[in-house]
C-alpha cells in the first residue's frame, strides 16, 4: 500500500459523486469510500484502488502486483486524477466570493489523456450517463480483459486505430463520431497528439479544433480534464450560458478574466452552485 497526501479541505463526496456519474462499466467502480479501476502502462496491467483517510488527509493507494513495476507512474496519474497538488487556500483567495461556499472542490483530471479524449468526443451532445454508457461499450468491445478479474483495460490507441467505424456506429454513435475516435487513436499512434500537458494550452486547444469531430467545447473540455489545464473557461457551455443569461460568449469570457489563472476552478464552482448568477454592477455594464 502507498500513501499520498493532500491539503484540506477536500470534498471527497463531491469528487466520488462526479466520478461515479461517469464511471465506465467494466473499467471503474466507485463506492462511497473507494475508487477502483483497471489501468495499463508500458505493458504492465492491473487494478488500482484508492481510499481517502479524511482524518489524516491522505490517500491510501493499493496497486495489484502487475502494476508494481510502474508504481511511480501510477501514483503520478492518481495525483493528477484527484488534483492532489492543489492548494485550496490559493484557489479560494483567487476566486473570492465564488469559492467560499465550496472550498474543497477540486479539478478532476484523468489517468490517461487518450482515454479522456475518447470520453470527451463521446460526450458531445449527449447526457453524462449516455456518454459513460458509450465509452463502456467501446471498452467492452476493444479493451483487453484483466485476468482473474471482472475488469477490462481501456482500449489502447493501437486497438482503436484499427477499429471499424461501422462497428463503433453499432454501439450507438454517429459514424462521424466513430471516425473521429479512430482519427484520434491514429494520431496518438503516430505521435502527433499531445498526451502530455503542452506549454501553450490555448494554442494546443486551437490545434485540437482542426481535427475531425473536435469542436471548441470538446477541445476545451479535453484540456480541462485530459491535460488538467487550470485556466480554461467554457463560455459556450449550455449551463454556463444559462448562468450568464443575457450575455454573449464573448461577454462571458471577458467577465471570467477576473478569475485568471484559475478559471477552470471558477467553471466548476459555477457549474455546481445552484442559482449562481454574475454580480450586477458597473463592471458588467462595461463589458462589450
Instruction: Please name the residues in contact with 206: beta carbons below 8 A apart, sequence gap of 6 or more.
Output: 219
DSSP secondary structure code for residue 194 in this structure: -
Residues 218 and 177: beta-carbon distance below 8 Å:
no
Q: How far apart are CA 70 and CA 48, in angstroms?
A: 12
Catalytic residue among 83, 112, 231, 237: 237
Does residue 237 have an active-site annotation?
A: yes
- In the chain, where does DSSP find H-type helix? 12-21, 71-81, 88-95, 97-100, 113-122, 128-142, 157-161, 165-169, 175-190, 201-208, 216-225, 238-243, 249-256, 263-271, 282-285
DSSP secondary structure code for residue 197 in this structure: P
Instruction: Please name the residues in contact with 119: beta carbons below 8 A apart, sequence gap of 6 or more.
Output: 22, 131, 135
Q: Which residues are the active-site residues?
A: 237
Amino acid at each position: 500500500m502507498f500513501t499520498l497526501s493532500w491539503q484540506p479541505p477536500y470534498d471527497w463526496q463531491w469528487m466520488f459523486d462526479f466520478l461515479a456519474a461517469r464511471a465506465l462499466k467494466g473499467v471503474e467502480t466507485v463506492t462511497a469510500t473507494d475508487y477502483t479501476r483497471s489501468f495499463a502502462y508500458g505493458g504492465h496491467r492491473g487494478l488500482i484502488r484508492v481510499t481517502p483517510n479524511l482524518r489524516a488527509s491522505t490517500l491510501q493507494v493499493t496497486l495489484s502486483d502487475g502494476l508494481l513495476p510502474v508504481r511511480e507512474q501510477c501514483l503520478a496519474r492518481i495525483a493528477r486524477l484527484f488534483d492532489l497538488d492543489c492548494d485550496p487556500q490559493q484557489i479560494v483567495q483567487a476566486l473570492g466570493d465564488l469559492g467560499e461556499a465550496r472550498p474543497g472542490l477540486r479539478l478532476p483530471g484523468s489517468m490517461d489523456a487518450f482515454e479522456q479524449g475518447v470520453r470527451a468526443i463521446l460526450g458531445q451532445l449527449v447526457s453524462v450517463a449516455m456518454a459513460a454508457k458509450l465509452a463502456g461499450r467501446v471498452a467492452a468491445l476493444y479493451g483487453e480483459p484483466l485476468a482473474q478479474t471482472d475488469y477490462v483495460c481501456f482500449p489502447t490507441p493501437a486497438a482503436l486505430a484499427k477499429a471499424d467505424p461501422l462497428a463503433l456506429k453499432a454501439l450507438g454513435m454517429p459514424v462521424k463520431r466513430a471516425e473521429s475516435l479512430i482519427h484520434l487513436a491514429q494520431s496518438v499512434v503516430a505521435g502527433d497528439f499531445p498526451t502530455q500537458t503542452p506549454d501553450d494550452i490555448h494554442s494546443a486547444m486551437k490545434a485540437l479544433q482542426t481535427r475531425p469531430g473536435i469542436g471548441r467545447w470538446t477541445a476545451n473540455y479535453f484540456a480541462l480534464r485530459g491535460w488538467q489545464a487550470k485556466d480554461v473557461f467554457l463560455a459556450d457551455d449550455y449551463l454556463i450560458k444559462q448562468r450568464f443569461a443575457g450575455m454573449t460568449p464573448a461577454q462571458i469570457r471577458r467577465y471570467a478574466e477576473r478569475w485568471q489563472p484559475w478559471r477552470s476552478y471558477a467553471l466548476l464552482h459555477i457549474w455546481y452552485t445552484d442559482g449562481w448568477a454574475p454580480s450586477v454592477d458597473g463592471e458588467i455594464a462595461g463589458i462589450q
